[in-house]
Structure 1
């Protein structure tokens, strides 16, 4: 959510929003990849814990 808030300029405490569309979209993609990786890690850890 922080990547999206910064890219949209709604959270000035996170830094200035990117000046152009391309960096804003890149920030959103990085955030989506990060969130996806966190979800995969969380599910993997939950499954590993359930089998022991």
Structure 2
């Protein structure tokens, strides 16, 4: 089994995280709203 490397999320992960959440929930969400919220969470030091 290959090793799994964990790292902090970045803004470049937005599309992959969005796709995974949509697949998990079997629903489509507002992509723009998700991007805005995801990037706001990345900038928030309390979310770490």
Classify the TM-score, shorter chain. Answer: 0.3 to 0.5
Q: TM-score, normalised by structure 2?
A: 0.43
Greater RCO (CA < 8 Å, at least 6 residues apart): 2
Structure with more of its chain in helix, by fraction:
1
Q: TM-score, normalised by structure 1?
A: 0.41
Q: Say which one has the larger Rg.
A: 1
